[in-house]
Structures are given as structure tokens and as C-alpha cells.
Copies of this chain bind each other. A is one copy, B any other.
């Protein structure tokens, strides 16, 4: 701990690497050092390694254990604190807050939650949110979509047609499809839910793949939604989206039961 910058000290077992073997594409939070620390601690909290009420007391001790400066550690704690995961007070230390205080819909928190082996129950909860929001969003989208919105939706649908849900690009197209619909509602509060909905879409898809080797072709369901929105038919859009979600639930049910 005498040298300054980054290169030395690769021997520390608990050291935090800025890059952290991130595939450059999934650059979530971990590009800078404090981001990497926040990612590490956030994942540890979301995975239950630290439980609500536990104290992370000792800025000095922790920063030394992670082999980073106190500043970097503190900045990471500020990030976690901003997301409602922890709270620090003088003398009392830094404690993990109860789950109800966590901003579970924050994109980073969501990513951390799915970093390890995700909680089945939480995936169910997200799916439930999806089932509530998406049909209503499809209705609003049908009422308000611009020509540009339709283009984005059709574009995502086209990519879904070409690719499949078996690879990452295809799943990204699926997410883009649902995100484009939320955008078309012209409601910023709903757009903010894209990250959460997207996570739900991705993970339910993953479970779907686990359940069936040759899953149902998702394109027709999606096409119906897209057509209804393009035709500015709110009721049809809502119904089509509800059916889409229900089919997804059906395909997923077997592998999501306890």
C-alpha cells in the first residue's frame, strides 16, 4: 500500500479491478473504480451476502480490505446510499436498509439483483408488474404514437423476425420492441420503467427457453400488437398485448413453479 496508482498489487485476494473482466458491452456500473466497488458491494447486498440491518462499519478497514482509497470507497457508498440500499451515520456506521427502502426498479439495482442467481420470487414480481403495465401502455401507445414510434416498433419486430430469441441480439430486439412501445406512450414515467420491464422480458424469456427446446414463435403475437398500434386501435392493442403477456406466462409457468 505504498505505491500510488493502479498497476501494482495484483496479489491481494479481495482486490477490486476496475475492468473486472467486463465484456466491454455490458458496461453497467463498473468502468471507474468507485463504480466497480459499488457493483461489488451492491451485488453482495442483493444476493443476500449482507442482510438488512448488517453494518459495514469501518471505512478504513473496508477500503484497506478492498485495496482502494477511502475516497473511492466513500463514493461507492454514496452511490449505494442514493439507491436506498444503505444508510450511514456518524458513530453508528453504515447499515444495510430494509428491503422496502431499496429502489428495486433502479436499472443498476436490477442488474445487481440479476448478477448472481436471481431470486425466483422477484422475477415473478417483475413479471406481475409487466402484466399490469404493458397492456395499458399498449393502449396509450395506440392513441399517441407518432410515425417515428411506429417505425421503431416495426424495426425491432423486423430484427426479431430475422434473429431468434436464442441469441443475445434477438433478446435485445425483444427488449427494444417493448421499450419502443413504452416510449410511444409519450409518458416519461412509463419510459422510466423500460429498464424494469426489459429485465422482466429478458428473464422470462430465459426461463421460457429452459422449459422448451423449440419454443413458440413469438413473432405473430408481437406483430399483432405492432399492427394494432400502427392502426391506432387502442382496444386491439391492449387485448393483443394482454394475450402476449399471458402466453409468455403460460410458457413460463412450468419452470417458474416451486
Number of copies: 2
Main secondary structure of the interface of A (DSSP, over half): helix
In the bound complex, CA of A78 to CA of B193 (Å): 22
- Pick the residue among B75, B83, B104, B140 that contacts A75 (CB under 8 A): B75
Q: Is A132 an interface residue (CB 8 A)?
A: yes
Q: B-facing mask of A63-88, CB < 8 A → 1, else 0? A: 00000000100110011011110000
Which residues in chain A, 51-72, are within 8 Å of chain B measured between CB atoms? 71
- Pick the residue among B34, B71, B108, B125 that contacts A190 (CB under 8 A): B125
Interface residue count on the A side (C-beta < 8 Å): 39
In the bound complex, CA of A38 to CA of B83 (Å): 14
- Pick the residue among B102, B104, B129, B188 that contacts A99 (CB under 8 A): B188
23 contacts between A and B (CB under 8 A): A71-B71, A74-B75, A78-B78, A78-B79, A78-B82, A79-B79, A79-B82, A82-B83, A100-B183, A100-B191, A102-B188, A103-B103, A103-B106, A103-B107, A104-B188, A104-B192, A105-B193, A106-B106, A122-B189, A125-B189, A128-B187, A132-B132, A132-B137
